[in-house]
Amino acid sequence: MKRNRPDQNQFSRRDFIKTTATGAGAAALTGLGVESMKAEGRPAHWDKEADVVIIGAGATGLPAAIQAVEGGASVILIDANTDVGGHAILSGGNVALGGGTSRQKKYGVVDSPDILFSDLTDWSVVEPNGFPDYRYNDKEVIRAFADESAKTYEWLVAHGVTFVEKAPDTQGGHACGNSAPRENHAAPLGWALPQNGGPLPPDKGAVTSSGVGLIRPLEATARKLGVQILLEHKMTGIVRENPNSGRVLGISASSQGKTVNIRARKGVIIGTGGHSSNVNFRRIFDPRLTEEYQVAGEPWSFQDASGEIAAMAVGASLWGAYNQSGEFGQNVTKAGWIGCQYGYVNLSWQPDSPIFPKAGASGLFVKDYQNVILVNLIGRRFYDETAGQFPANNYNSIKPYVPYSYLNAANLKYSPSNFLNAAMAGIGDTHAGGGPIWAIFDSDAATREGWRVTPPFVDVARGYFYSADTLVELAGKIANKYQRVPMPPDALQETVTRYNSFVDAGKDADFAKPAPKYKIQTPPFHAAWATPVIHDTRSGLRINAKCQVVDLNGSVIPGLYCGGESAGGFSLHGLARCAVQGRIAGRNAAAETVKG
């Protein structure tokens, strides 16, 4: 999906409100970066039809499709990609389902739907940086999730998903609740991983957590049940009886340059995966997130906000905006892999992957941030490199924990966790984004880390890695397309000289990096892309407990459903809300009774 630059197709708040309220103004919605997205008029004919039409074949769409078929509906499931899975298939496979699952009971974990609901709506849970995890969750949406969470775990197992055999834990968990461990881990078994191009060794397939282990079994079940899966079909609009009233009748899609009109006799379900890849849309929530910030899951798939924008064009409301901008969890992450464009910490593209030509490099995993310094686009350090990112509540994060007690916050020791804010602060000019962040290191550091600083490990060709014999020469070489101003050579030299003095002194006088260990002094010197990465989408369309989409007047849009990362009102990270809401949407769409 082509992305607009942030200085193009500007879209004001007034335009947004006017457009969404009236269901008109397709041009304004197109300005958010999805071409030709509009409220579609009823077509002269339907090319295909089914009871339920689902947009997006990922962690929401596949459960929705299976559940709808099991409810007696025929289903067409479309996806813009060449394969199913969306971001979910590349994920860590961590599925935070609790409320009293059989796995929890097996390992003696006490949990229930009521405990889960209490956890995910507890206003008093606050992170050490002052941000609350659950205060702005929609209680109606959370109640539905809590009641269906354990049922969804059993449903996934019954539909072919194998979870790693161990007690529920907190690995990969963000905003999962304080009272019980709830993370389960989908095992990839013998399925091929897109990022590797093949399966894991047999001894690892059953004990590793991967989104492949969730997606491929569900795909197999959906196909076995007769779900019609149409790949390389990109939704271009939602068809409603009238632009801002009446039932949703179906969708239009584009495939191989042709328009395909697909009728939904009962309902349309949006499972398009959120908006994190759409620069203009994500900047509604955080103006700093300009185009230099890459997204976890790219370039396999792009969360382009197409579902949200198409629904807005027929009158839908957005919901729960705080959960997108709140500084907790993995909305934005520190780069883990450096020297490559896509540096999300839990994903490294390997040369055998069919996506590798688009990814460009595997990256260098940073084991010890004592081995690098991080500088902004003008060559200045900005924070302690060893610092972490935004925190998030999980099991036993607060001890002692008393539900709904102000003491949960009062007993915390304040810690700002401002690494990401410092990285996104910019250089004091009028540009809203922070700009590139570069990891600077020398040949000794590469040796200590065991890095090979050549392709395919680093992306030299596209400007995400540079090397030189002097720091002055290194700064002069940096010409990445997001480097909007040249890096001053003297500034980088001064930064490194000052940092080396901190190593001699054993103390970082600027940012309190714990006992700086290593000087940067042995050529060649290197600059590796280390810009933060956008991950979660936690705000989207307004839905109710049935996953029906709601408009700005608070009324249900008949025949339109949504779940997962395209839906708002829920701060929980990851796959669990997708699977639960997919099932809820599929069940309710299949149960629709429509005259005529």
Strand runs labelled E in 29-188:
38-40, 48-55, 75-79, 94-96, 183-185
Report pLDDT for 23: 44
- Integer-rounded Cα Rg, in Å, for the chain is 24
Name every residue whose Cβ is closer than 8 Å to that of residue 421 and which is 6 or more positions away in sequence: 327
Phi, psi at 488, each rounded to 5°: -65, 120
What are the beta bridge partners of residue 208?
none
Tokens 């989207």 locate to 540
Answer whether residue 354 shows pLDDT above 50: yes
81-130 residue pLDDT tens = 999 999 999 999 999 999 999 999 999 999 999 999 999 999 999 999 99
Give residue-wise pLDDT tens across range 3-12: 333 333 344 4
- For the segment 242-263, what is each residue's pLDDT rounded down to a tens digit? 988 999 999 999 999 999 999 9
> Which tens digits make up the pLDDT trace of 428-437?
999 999 999 9
Residue 20 has what pLDDT? 43
Once rounded to an integer, what is the mean pLDDT over residues 332-359? 95
Mean pLDDT for 185-207 is 96
Q: What is the DSSP string of 407-450?
A: HHHHTSPP----HHHHHTS-SSSS-SS----EEEEEHHHHHHHT
Tens of pLDDT, residues 276-335: 999 999 999 999 999 999 999 999 999 999 999 999 999 999 999 999 999 999 999 999
Among the CATH numbers 3.30.70.100, 3.30.930.10, 3.90.700.10, 3.30.420.40, which is that of 335-387+438-529? 3.90.700.10
**DSSP one-letter code for 53:** E
Domain(s) labelled CATH 3.90.700.10 in the chain stretch across: 335-387+438-529
Determine the Cα–Cα distance for residues 499 and 108; give it in Å rounded to an integer. 51
User: What does the pLDDT read at residue 14?
Assistant: 41
Average pLDDT for 216-225: 98
